[in-house]
Amino acid sequence: MRWDRPPMHDVSVTLPAWVVGQVDYATRYPAAEARMRVAIGLASENIARGTGGPFGAAIFERESGLLVAVGVNAVTRLNNSTVHAEMLAFQLAEKRVGSYSLRAEGHPEHELFSSCAPCAMCLGAALWSGVTKLTFGALREDAEAIGFDEGPVFDESYAYLHARGVETVAGFLRDEARAVLERYQAQGGTVYNAEGRATDR
């Protein structure tokens, strides 16, 4: 194989510019419904703007409702199979709090809201990120219904998280979240990880 580009020694992970005007970091979100609608709204806007797949995520301080960081699918925009919505949210939240763990001593507890059930990669990252609660809207079967492969996620995966202190809530505002997936499919959105191609969230 001939390489047309030299080896790379850095990578840049960014949110699309429109996110700045989409989220309000100054507002507190005390209700779970409001927190989930941030994630679903990001997923919806991401497909409307053509900047990625139908997935959004947001991390909040559990007690205060402070919005810490958000993420949207960026696989095709950044040519990076690892930048799923949850992964971006984890990275930006940890950068903001200045710690590799959102469960570090002296920090409040954090919760991840995701518009869809995390894939295998993001579910594993949820444990290492330090969030103590994971709430998601659309279910695994909703993503699979439009062609996405969520990877090796099992009931035992969630049991393992629970044993490690990570609470999960599944199917929260599922109909709203699933509608974003269905709109993406109706618009002919690319399914990035079909048949072994690069994965995306």
Active-site residue numbers?
86
Which ranges constitute the DSSP H helices of 9-154?
A: 19-22, 32-48, 75-78, 85-97, 120-129, 140-145
CA 180 to chain centroid, in Å, comes to 14
CA distance 123 to 117: 8
CA distance 57 to 9: 28
Q: Are 178 and 137 in contact (CB under 8 A)?
A: yes
Residue listed under structure tokens 């005007």: 21
Q: Which tokens sit at 179? A: 């509608």
For residue 113, the 8-state DSSP code is E
At 77, which amino acid appears?
R
For residue 196, the 8-state DSSP code is G
